[in-house]
Amino acid sequence: MPTGHLFIDLEAVAANWRALDRASAADCETAAVVKADAYGLGLAQVAPRLAQEGARAFFVATAAEGLELRRILGPEPRIYLLYGHMPGDTATIQRADLVPMVCSLAQLILHLEALPRQPFGLQLDTGMNRLGLRDGEWAEVAAHALKAEPVLIMSHLASADDPDSSQSGEQLARFRAMTDGVPVPRSLAATGGTLLGPDYHFDMTRPGVGLFGGFPFTQAEPVVTLDLPVIACFDVEAGECVGYNATWTAPAATRIATVAGGYADGLPRALQPDLDLMAGPVPCRAVGRVSMDLIGVDIGHLDNDPEALRVLGPHHGIDTLAHAAGTIGYEILTSLGRRYDRHYRS
């Protein structure tokens, strides 16, 4: 077992998509957001499984991702670009038949001049202040833009993962004020918004992280399991230190396992001191600094030296790990290492 083994359960991804699809009305389309290599889990494996499940609309960020996805999925599914129509992307958008979600006035002008017959969508900013036409801009160009027949109008919620936040309701009201009566399909909800309820669904939901088992879809089926091989085991005396800068000192004699995996594999240095690795059902504490390729683990309470320790699994998911590292599940997923042996259950 030369490197860590990353198991990715495509059946669980499909089940999560179905569950989020069921959360909205039958006439509300459920898209799939697969930007950043399907949140790090592999576009070439994830996207076809979702298409097989019935997904017909996919979102990626860049035109290069869109081109790759078109090659994977063939001509039929619609592929939307969250970066819109960037200068230099015109040929790719046309060749791969991508739908840029235009997100500024400059992009709107560029798109209508460069590819007047290529379908496009519009992003509106309803308060996140990240991308999209702002209130005043939209008022100015709505009539002109609508004449060009956009295929989708969308906005994005900033705080949908927090049901108690008042920001979602404010953004919903602004989205309605900007788009009610406009004869174009609308989309507001990602995973969080989908779970906020039908007011947020409109004509299409756009879940991403929920497909991959991440918060706020707490009912999701877990998707990833990560086992790290144990390279060496040895005894240490009380008072001996483990790892860079000697940040951990053994309070009593114990046994240490050094496992293959570190921050170069997406296991943040900030994980220690709150990381447990699992030997079957038994938690074992990481001790000392996380190195680039190695982590020390206290296995003094185990009967036998383990061959591998589990960092991510059904009972110990991406959000637990994220919490220990002071980050979010999205970042754990998209950082998962390129060195792992990847195994897909389809």
Ligand X SMILES: *Cc1c(COP(=O)(O)O)cnc(C)c1O
Of 78, 111, 156, 201, the one binding ligand X (CB under 6 A) is: 156
Of 6, 10, 178, 190, the one binding ligand X (CB under 6 A) is: 190
By CB under 6 A, residue 208 contacts ligand X = yes
- Mark the segment that binds ligand X (CB under 6 A) among 166-174, 189-197, 259-267, 299-307: 189-197
Cα 330 off chain centre by? 5
Pairwise CA distance, residues 162 & 193, whole Å: 10
Q: Which of residues 8-47 bind ligand X (CB under 6 A)?
A: 33, 35
Catalytic pick among 35, 39, 80, 330 = 35
Of 207, 222, 306, 337, the one binding ligand X (CB under 6 A) is: 207
Residue 2 beta carbon to ligand X: minimum distance, rounded to whole angstroms? 32
Q: How many residues bind ligand X (CB under 6 A)?
A: 12
- Mark the segment that binds ligand X (CB under 6 A) among 11-19, 87-95, 204-212, 320-328: 204-212
H/E stretch holding 235 reads: strand 224-236
Strand partners, 33: 59
Known catalytic residue: 244?
yes
**Which residue in the shown chain puts its C-beta closest to ligand X?**
208
Of 209, 223, 230, 336, the one binding ligand X (CB under 6 A) is: 209
Long-range Cβ contact pairs of 277-286 (< 8 A, separation 24 or more): 277/228, 277/309, 277/310, 277/311, 278/309, 278/310, 278/311, 278/313, 278/315, 278/316, 279/306, 279/309, 279/310, 284/257, 284/309
- Mark the segment that binds ligand X (CB under 6 A) among 111-119, 145-153, 184-192, 247-255: 184-192
Residues 104-143, mask of contacts with ligand X (x by CB under 6 A)? ----------------------------------------
Pairwise CA distance, residues 258 & 242, whole Å: 10
Strand pairing category for 294-298 and 282-287: antiparallel
DSSP letter string, 69-81: HHHHH-SSSEEEE
Q: Rank residues 161 and 276 by Cβ distance to ligand X and give the closer one.
A: 161
Q: Rank residues 49 and 156 by Cβ distance to ligand X and give the closer one.
A: 156
Strand pairing category for 5-9 and 341-345: parallel
Known catalytic residue: 147?
no
Residue 237 beta carbon to ligand X: minimum distance, rounded to whole angstroms? 48
Cα 277 off chain centre by? 23
Its sign, for the CA torsion 139, 140, 146, 147, is positive
Is the separation of the CB atoms in 60 and 79 below 8 Å?
Answer: yes
Catalytic pick among 80, 83, 200, 244 = 244
Phi, psi of 274 (to 5 degrees): -110, 25
* Residues at the contact surface with ligand X, assessed by CB under 6 A: 33, 35, 82, 156, 190-192, 206-210
Residues identified as active-site: 35, 244
